[in-house]
Amino acid sequence: MDTTNRNTALASALVEELARSGVQRAVICPGSRSTPVGLALLREPGIATTSVVDERSAAFLALGAANASRQPVAIACTSGTAAANLHPAVCEADEAAVPLVVLTSDRPPELRGIGAGQTIDQIGLYGSASRWFCEVGTHEADDAGLLHLRATACRAAAVAAGDPRPGPVHLNLSWRDPLGPEPAEGDITARSTLALAGRGEGLPLSDLCRPAAALRAEEVEAIAADLASTERGLIVAGRQPDPALGTALAELSAATGYPVLAEPTSQARRGSGPIWAYDAIARARPAALDPVLVLRFGDMPTSKALRLWLGSLDGCGQLVVDPHGDWNEPTRKAGLVLRTAPVALAEALRSALPGRSGDGAWASAWRRANDAAAHGIAGELAGTSELTEPGLQAALGRLYASGDLVYTASSMPIRDQESFLGPVDGDALFLSNRGANGIDGVVSSGIGAAIATGRPTWIVLGDLALHHDSNGLASLRHAESPVRIIVPNNDGGGIFEFLPQAEQVAREEFEAIFGTPLGLDLSKLAALHGIEHRAVDRGADLEALPRDRHLLVEVAIDRQANVGVHRALWESAAQAIRLALDSPL
């Protein structure tokens, strides 16, 4: 603990307990009012720090680091609108269950509401998006004050990590002058060893025991009996971060004969086993593949076609595995939500099942449909030598190596990745900000993930998402592993071309409200940040990209033609599926 003065003691006690409670990384934004906590974080040997000027980018960098590491990350800023700029990332962390510890510094109460500079109302600033808010208060460095800061830090880290659901917590820290480390003899009046040093030896003052969420044996047996008696079932895997789930679901699939429909961000779209062309299948809605039971792990996949298909089946039973206390069921038809650990449940069900051949008629029909859709998509993509947005995702899938990290933006990139990225070999980690589904902060999130993991990283995002977070490119200097930023540049909001409004309003009006072309010269943006820029238009160009440096890679796309490309792909896949399922089950 730093005993230079009252503020240094309080701040260092707080930060010391954060480190002992599992916070290993922090992002610091510059500011005078936040000097005590900023210095404490910088000087804490157990916490790696990154300094970022722009608070919004900083918060998303912390979010990406926490999303990738699955550990709480702290973000610290000064008072005023600096704190307000963290709000978008806090909303994403809330919706996506990402552990963040938000440390906003503030003026003391006597300087609020009287016109003092850089002061806004920061009490409960993030509203219901915060798992826990604490106005930490102003305290002396006595026994009570230091124990309060230590205990508050322990609770903040524990709640952020999951109590039961991970997410953001907000500590508002008021600091009186002096803000810098000016020696003040007699400021430290604490005498308790616990207040002055905590428990020592890396132990937090207070810890949280989290019993493993497990179903009782009879509950597992009852679910297994339902699975064993139902042939036409599916395992659906949506966004979740645990790489162990893929293996567990593959084994459960073998025991049930149920195909696995795996979104890339489920970490289960690996090898030849999963059904990856389910979006095309769901668009075709072949009656022969209507399930009567669905067991879902993770979020509902991005595919709207799949969600609507499952939601239309009144006779289809749905079980949703949700360990963190969410109510993530957009079809509103799930019969049972299971508050249990996903991998453990999959393994327990596999052990409780007598086993059924994965080569049965049901699984075989799904495999034929998947292979046919894949063949139809590949054939359509082969008809043009230039990269399209779907073709870009397919080409990137052949480049992702074991150990890579892929951070994909919302809007079209995540949808095209889901629809057109085939199974990937190895253990590439797929992440996205699909809690609040915004396109802001993706550059910073991807770089934060790269910094936290050291993995070679791909960030796939459109030109509008890049524009939203172009400040984030400045943080590339902190990333030691190569970061390749892939930008399908369609000069505007490409996803809006798929809306009915594209044909309902005049083109001039559409462009003004939805298209919003920016006319960005990405080579100049790259040069501003000292990044190499490459323009590519063929898959071979992607394969030739260097793997040892940061890159900004631009793929020019015709926004309006992109709609026709997608429709042709969906029609080719639908025709292939119909032909493949001509023979009855």
In this predicted structure, what is the pLDDT of residue 356? 62
210 in a structural domain: no
Burial of 123 (0-12, 13-18, 19+ CB in 10 A): exposed
Q: Are residues 369 and 387 in the same domain?
A: no
118 in a structural domain: yes
Q: Are residues 517 and 431 in the same domain?
A: yes
550 in a structural domain: yes
In this predicted structure, what is the pLDDT of residue 553? 98
Chain-centre distance of CA 566, in angstroms?
A: 26
578 in a structural domain: no
Q: Are residues 143 and 30 in the same domain?
A: yes
Please write the tens of the pLDDT for every residue from 110-133.
989 898 989 999 999 999 999 999
Tokens of 27: 């992002």
- Kindly report the backbone phi and psi dihedral angles of residue 134, in degrees, each rounded to the nearest multiple of 5, phi listed first: -140, 120
Q: Are residues 454 and 499 in the same domain?
A: yes
207 in a structural domain: no
User: Domain range for residue 507?
Assistant: 383-573
Please write the tens of the pLDDT for every residue from 210-262.
887 789 999 999 999 999 999 999 999 999 999 999 999 999 999 999 999 99
pLDDT of 585 > 50? The answer is: no
Tokens of 133: 């808010």
How confident is the prediction for the chain on average, in pLDDT? 94
- Kindly report the backbone phi and psi dihedral angles of residue 18, in degrees, each rounded to the nearest multiple of 5, phi listed first: -60, -45
User: What share of the chain in percent tops pLDDT 70?
Assistant: 99
**Helix residue ranges, H only, 70-191:** 81-84, 87-96, 143-162
205 in a structural domain: no
Number of C-beta neighbours around residue 134 at 10 A: 16
**Under 8 Å between Cβ of 51 and 3:** no
**Which CATH number do you get for residue 447?**
3.40.50.970
Closest CA to 256 of 223, 286, 288: 223
497 in a structural domain: yes
**Under 8 Å between Cβ of 99 and 167:** yes
Indicate the pLDDT class of residue 359, thresholds 50, 70 and 90: low
Q: Are residues 83 and 182 in the same domain?
A: yes
Please write the tens of the pLDDT for every residue from 472-481.
999 999 999 9
Contacts of 518 (CB under 8 A, 6+ apart): 463, 464, 467, 491, 492
Arithmetic mean of pLDDT, 408-426: 94
Please write the tens of the pLDDT for every residue from 360-400.
899 999 999 999 999 999 999 998 889 999 999 999 999 99
Q: Pick from 150, 169, 197: which residue ends a domain?
A: 197
Please write the tens of the pLDDT for every residue from 306-334.
999 999 998 899 999 998 877 888 888 88
Q: Are residues 389 and 364 in the same domain?
A: no
pLDDT of 175 > 50? The answer is: yes
Please write the tens of the pLDDT for every residue from 265-285.
999 999 889 999 999 999 999
Q: What is the pTM of this model?
A: 0.95
Q: Are residues 111 and 222 in the same domain?
A: no
Q: Are residues 423 and 502 in the same domain?
A: yes
Helix, strand, or coil (residue 156): helix
Domain count of the fold of the chain: 3
Q: Are residues 355 and 391 in the same domain?
A: no
pLDDT of 569 > 90? The answer is: yes
Q: Which is higher by pLDDT, 210 or 532?
A: 532
Q: Which is higher by pLDDT, 354 or 484?
A: 484
Q: Are residues 285 and 404 in the same domain?
A: no
416 in a structural domain: yes
Q: Pick from 373, 395, 414: which residue ends a domain?
A: 373
Q: Are residues 53 and 174 in the same domain?
A: yes
pLDDT of 554 > 90? The answer is: yes
**Range with lowest mean pLDDT among 57-71, 315-329, 417-431:** 315-329
Q: Are residues 123 and 253 in the same domain?
A: no
**Which CATH number do you get for residue 226?**
3.40.50.1220
**Under 8 Å between Cβ of 553 and 487:** yes
Q: Pick from 162, 197, 232: which residue ends a domain?
A: 197
Long-range Cβ contact pairs of 500-503 (< 8 A, separation 24 or more): 502/563
